[in-house]
């Protein structure tokens, strides 16, 4: 019997019967073409998650009219011309044994005019929190027309073979704009109190109910709390839920936020796992129809507990299924340590702003239709230098394909610089991912040797057919006057020597390394002064964690000097300068820490060329990398050799 009995119990929404309680919510991929048609890439992407065991798949937000496209990466269903491609998608999912739902959406004032070439519309002429553009207020006739367009989209979904539809009523898109007192100030029958602001949503559900078969699943995704001062709060969310249930909704998919609270909408690692489950529980307490919960659900035990506690009937796994499409199957089989954990870093969300979906830990996203682990014609003896994410990923793929692989790591345990990055508060997913990488390599025939320093002589003596250099960057202090003489520490040394740093610490450089070290130290009672020459802290992070790390440091009392340059430093002082201000001396520091520049580390590669048949350099040794690029390069070279 499974250790997660509720999670793997069957369930039914209208005519939709599913094998377990784990479903994939709608998430943009930008794998469609620019006109919004289905592509082979998007079919392969959803098929992979179906084969991974999800109860049902929800296809990403799909536009019911051209003006409703948020950008050029959004699928479309506003015309019959899209049906053939959508039918090809549903046929593929059904042939793979899955069930599939599609989300119908209109972005309203959040549609980007430079993509649509159309004027954005909304219930009221209130500027978008994102674009700041003022939309045109819809007329009653136009509202009625949009109700019809949603119904026509649902009717096309039926013809295309979808097992149900989900209406996007959350996250600041058009239906949410009508529901919210923050964005709807109309005085007619579509504005005012909760009942009238809900009319647009209610009419959409009622008209879809009339135009689809009996008991056809109509799921409403709603923001039960907008997390803003003047938006929907949970008590009103409950009233809206009851209105939708009465209108004919089959289930409610409970989320949160709008564009004004977007830093909470897609919760990054600074927010708790299952952070919206309490909202689902609140909605479930007032309706009889099924309720789905969503919001950074990573741990299967937490998902099981949420169901057991009757907070929800179904668990929506979004980024979790991007990171590991096989998550449901692995949980069912008890292979929990084989789960490729989502970091909640939101690089996926950042990636779709101007290109296709990528994932920091899953380099196969968007490439699901291609072969990955082909056996080599002639297995080779391969030496991998460096046990960070790039080296571990390369070793795992190379060994899995059949090569004879040995990995050398100079430290006492693998991990490289990533191990230190995982020490900062709220970075537990990074530690779990590193453990996953190490365990995956150990499950192959790779020989791992730690405390093993690599140099030209030892590598040549090993006599490999190919050498993969993932030995990290060359770390160089910033060129600041007095830096070398000041006794300043690197970030890595600071993480390793926290107890001997003293209490008053300056960190020169407010990139991700500096900010996360500041968080780590201030959480241990240290007094922190952080100096950053740019106008924004942690610039290289995705927007969500960048916002939260800045807020954490402010709330914990770090002295932040933004847009500030360090012109000189000594043993216990720093001289800072700002434009149009006199230089200022900050002193009395017990220690000064400088995040180092990550420069290419090419010396070893140059010494081996001509002496080793094949030499490849990846990761930080080529250029400063994030985990996304490091893992991707490791896998790429693993598939190439």
Sign of CA dihedral 397, 399, 400, 403: positive
Q: Contact at 8 Å (CB) between 619 and 625?
A: yes
Report the candidate in 551, 558, 577, 554 with the shortest Cα–Cα distance to residue 505: 558
- In the beta sheet, which residues pair with residue 484? none
Structure tokens at 479: 């060129």
Catalytic site residue from 78, 173, 216, 259: 173
**Residue whose tokens read 């030892």:** 458
Question: What b/e string do you get for 63-73 counting C-beta neighbours within 10 Å, with b at 16 or more?
Answer: bbbebbbbbbb
188: region left, alpha or beta (phi > 0 left; psi from -120 to 50 alpha): beta
Contact 179, 240 (CB under 8 A): yes
Tokens of 134: 């003022």
**Sign of torsion over alpha carbons 151, 157, 160, 163:** negative
Element (H, E) at 166: strand 164-169
Contacts of 295 (CB under 8 A, 6+ apart): 255, 256, 267, 274, 275, 276, 277
Q: What is the dihedral of CA 244, 273, 264, 249, to 10 degrees?
A: -10
173 assigned to active site: yes
Q: What are the tokens at 99?
A: 């069930």
Q: How far is 43 from 60, CA to CA, in rounded Å?
A: 12
Which residues share a beta bridge with 381? Answer: 404
What separation in angstroms does the CA of 8 have from each of 99, 300, 337, 471? 16, 11, 19, 43
User: Rounded to 5 degrees, what are φ and ψ at 612?
Assistant: -120, 135
Question: How far is the C-alpha of 616 from the C-alpha of 635, rounded, in Å?
Answer: 13
Catalytic residue IDs = 173
């Amino acid at each position: 019997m499974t250790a997660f009995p509720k999670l793997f119990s069957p369930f039914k929404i209208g005519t939709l019967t599913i094998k377990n309680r784990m479903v994939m919510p709608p998430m943009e991929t930008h794998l469609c073409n620019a006109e919004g048609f289905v592509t082979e890439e998007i079919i392969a992407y959803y098929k992979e998650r179906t084969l991974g065991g999800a109860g049902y798949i929800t296809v990403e937000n799909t536009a019911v009219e051209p003006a409703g496209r948020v950008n050029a990466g959004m699928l479309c269903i506003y015309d019959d011309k899209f049906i053939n491609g959508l039918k090809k998608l549903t046929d593929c999912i059904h042939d793979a044994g899955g069930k599939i739902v599609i989300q119908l959406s209109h972005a309203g004032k959040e549609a980007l005019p430079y993509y649509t070439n159309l004027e954005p519309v909304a219930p009221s002429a209130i500027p978008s929190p994102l674009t700041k553009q003022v939309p045109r207020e819809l007329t009653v006739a136009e509202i009625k027309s949009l109700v019809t367009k949603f119904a026509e989209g649902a009717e096309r979904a039926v013809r295309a073979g979808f097992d149900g539809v989900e209406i996007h009523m959350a996250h600041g898109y058009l239906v949410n704009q009508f529901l919210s007192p923050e964005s709807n100030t109309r005085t007619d029958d579509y504005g005012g109190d909760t009942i009238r602001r809900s009319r647009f949503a209610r009419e959409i559900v009622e008209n879809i109910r009339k135009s689809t078969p009996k008991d056809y699943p109509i799921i409403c995704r709603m923001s039960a709390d907008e997390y803003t001062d003047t938006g929907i709060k949970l008590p009103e969310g409950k009233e809206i839920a009851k209105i939708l249930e009465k209108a004919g909704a089959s289930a409610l998919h409970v989320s949160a936020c709008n564009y004004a609270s977007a830093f909470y909408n897609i919760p990054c690692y600074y927010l708790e796992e299952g952070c919206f489950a309490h909202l689902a529980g609140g909605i479930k307490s007032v309706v009889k129809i099924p309720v789905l919960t969503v919001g950074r659900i990573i741990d299967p035990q937490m998902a099981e507990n949420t169901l057991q506690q009757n907070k929800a009937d179904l668990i929506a796994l979004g980024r979790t299924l991007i990171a590991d499409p096989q998550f449901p199957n692995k949980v069912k089989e008890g292979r929990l340590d084989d789960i490729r954990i989502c970091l909640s870093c939101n690089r996926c969300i950042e990636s779709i702003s101007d290109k296709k979906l990528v994932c920091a830990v899953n380099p196969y996203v968007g490439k699901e239709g291609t072969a990955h682990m082909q056996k080599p014609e002639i297995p080779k003896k391969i030496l991998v230098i460096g046990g960070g994410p790039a080296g571990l990923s390369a070793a795992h793929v190379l060994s899995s394909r059949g090569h004879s692989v040995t990995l050398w790591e100079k430290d006492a345990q693998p991990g490289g610089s990533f191990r230190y990055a995982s020490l900062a508060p709220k970075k537990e997913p990074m530690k779990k991912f590193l453990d996953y990488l190490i365990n995956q390599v150990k499950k192959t025939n790779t020989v791992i040797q730690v405390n093993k320093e690599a140099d030209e002589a030892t590598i040549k003596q090993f006599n490999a057919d190919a050498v993969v250099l993932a030995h990290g960057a060359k770390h160089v202090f910033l060129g600041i006057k007095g830096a070398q003489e000041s006794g300043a520490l690197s970030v890595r040394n600071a993480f390793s020597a926290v107890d001997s740093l003293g209490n008053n610490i300056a960190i020169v450089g407010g990139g991700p390394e500096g900010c996360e070290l500041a968080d780590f130290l201030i959480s241990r009672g240290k007094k922190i002064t952080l100096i950053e020459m740019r106008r924004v802290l942690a610039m290289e992070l995705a927007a969500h964690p960048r916002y939260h790390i800045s807020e954490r440091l402010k709330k914990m009392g770090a002295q932040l000097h933004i847009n500030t340059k360090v012109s000189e430093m000594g043993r216990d002082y720093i001289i800072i300068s700002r434009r149009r201000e006199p230089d200022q001396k900050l002193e009395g520091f017990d220690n000064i820490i400088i995040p180092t520049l990550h420069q290419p580390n090419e010396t070893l590669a140059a010494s081996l060329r001509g002496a080793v048949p094949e030499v490849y350099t990846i990761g930080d040794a080529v250029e400063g990398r994030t985990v996304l690029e490091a893992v991707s390069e490791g896998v790429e070279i693993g598939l190439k050799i």
